[in-house]
Amino acid sequence: MVLLAQHTKNSTKRLLDEPMHAQEHRPYLGASLLGHSCERYLWYSFRWCYSAEFSSRLIRLFNRGHREEPEIIKELEKIGIKCYGDQTEFVAGYGHIRGHCDGMADNVPEAPKTTHLLEFKTMNDKSFKDLKKKGLKLSKPVYWAQVQLYMHGLELTRCLHINVNKNDDDLYIERIKYDKDEALNLLRKGQDILFSEFPPRKKFNSTWYECKWCSANGICHGNNPVDQTCRTCQYADIVQDGKWECSLADGEEISVERQRKSCTEYKQIEL
């Protein structure tokens, strides 16, 4: 009876798990995403072509990672590492590429005189074991790209990447060296996406494993309509300082809140 109770209409578990949470569009292209293998997905994301929803369970998983950060910082400070700069912002691409680091650290035992970027991640046992086996660059290329961009923007040469196994609290810590060429390649990739009027060509077919769980799958491989916002309108122009303007309104700036809605003159961009 206890097990059956979890599946009844008004059970505590069902009421906690059922709500879906809409993800609000970011005003910028996240630096944490630029290592993604599909430029087309990044273009759809930046242009607000689709709306994503997360289950309550996924929200709990995201929050677990956030809760872990101050605990890791406490542990680092206990061994003499000075931590600071939480959420320091990285800005590039004329203000349209942004990211926020987990912090910076001084007095890291392996190189006490070198300021390190700090980045924290939590992951399940399978991902954690793969990371230990292959290292960050091969196992988690998106994370590796993220710290390359942050090191570039914050003028740092090393990153202390700390990963926690959510199953048993084991730690995998890797010191990452700044790769200037890779950072510049990522910035060029980001700027190509920002200023492209049309989505990049499809990189994978619909059977590719990444496409199966991609939030933009219904648009890219199906006939789903795009969300009707200023960013999917032909009259919206991207300009400097992270801003957008409307060509129908003599270049008037469009606020982020106005971008989330379309007006009566909306005309969809060609996909």
pLDDT at 108: 98
Give residues with Cβ within 8 angstroms of 194, minimum separation 6. 29, 46, 93, 94, 96, 97, 238
Residue 196 sits in the same domain as residue 254: no
Per residue in 16-56, pLDDT (tens digit) is: 777 676 778 899 999 999 999 999 999 999 999 998 777 88
Classify residue 6: in a domain, yes or no.
no
- E strands within the chain? 20-22, 29-30, 53-55, 82-84, 89-92, 97-100, 103-106, 116-123, 158-165, 171-177, 236-238, 244-246, 252-254
Residue 70 sits in the same domain as residue 117: yes
Compute the distance between CA of residue 60 and CA of residue 4 in angstroms, rounded to an integer: 24
Amino acid found at 214: C
Phi, psi of 19 (to 5 degrees): -60, 135
Residue 215 sits in the same domain as residue 254: no
What is the DSSP-derived secondary structure letter of residue 108? B
Looking at the predicted structure, is the pLDDT value of residue 1 above 50?
no
Per residue in 41-50, pLDDT (tens digit) is: 999 999 999 9
Domain around 89 = 23-226
Residue 28 sits in the same domain as residue 56: yes
**pLDDT band, very low/low/confident/very high, at 169 (cuts 50, 70, 90):** very high
Classify residue 16: in a domain, yes or no.
no
Residue 53 sits in the same domain as residue 185: yes
Residue 164 sits in the same domain as residue 271: no
Residue 118 sits in the same domain as residue 87: yes
**CA distances, 5 to each of 14, 19, 148 (Å):** 10, 19, 49
Per residue in 212-234, pLDDT (tens digit) is: 989 899 999 999 999 999 999 99
Classify residue 166: in a domain, yes or no.
yes
Classify residue 15: in a domain, yes or no.
no
Per residue in 118-138, pLDDT (tens digit) is: 999 999 999 999 999 999 999
Q: Which of helix, strand or coil describes residue 86? A: coil
Compute the distance between CA of residue 271 and CA of residue 197 in angstroms, rounded to an integer: 9
